[in-house]
Amino acid sequence: MPYASTSTYFGSGNGSILGGFNEKDHGHFFEFSQNLGEDAIDQLMLGLGYPHKIWVASNPKWFEASGYRYGKVLKTVAHLVTDEADDGSPIVEKWNIKGRTDYKVYTV
């Protein structure tokens, strides 16, 4: 169960966490956050239409350096950038999802 980095959390982080969902085929839970465009790659992915970071590893050492994939999370599907083609275009994987939950900030 990959959770987003604590740097995205409300209160202790930058508040960019948006929600979570279950990948439909295997039932694995993933969280996603807003792509804030903090560096050149983030900005490039935003320009290509990938406004989210989908967190695929709670401990990035286990999977990849970043722990997330760029993507676009909709209501019933998520599009994840998984690689780069020879021409530089993104290779995208489509996941069917269920149980999307949008996180909200509650104030007291």
Residue 16: give the domain boundaries: 6-102
Residue 37 lies in a domain: yes
Residue 73 lies in a domain: yes
Helix (H) or strand (E) holding 65: none
Place of tokens 């694995």: 28
Q: How many domains in the chain?
A: 1
Residue 21 lies in a domain: yes
Choice between 7 and 65, residue whose per-residue pLDDT is larger? 7
pTM of the model: 0.86
Residue 52 lies in a domain: yes
Compute the mean pLDDT over every residue in the chain, rounded to the nearest whole number. 89
Residue 107 lies in a domain: no
CA distance to 24, 87, 108, per residue, from 72 (Å): 16, 21, 32
φ, ψ dihedrals at 97, nearest 5°: -125, 160
% the chain with pLDDT above 90? 71
Rg (CA), the chain: 14
Residue 108 lies in a domain: no
Residue 66 lies in a domain: yes
Residue 1 lies in a domain: no
Query: What's the whole-number mean pLDDT along residues 56-77?
Result: 76
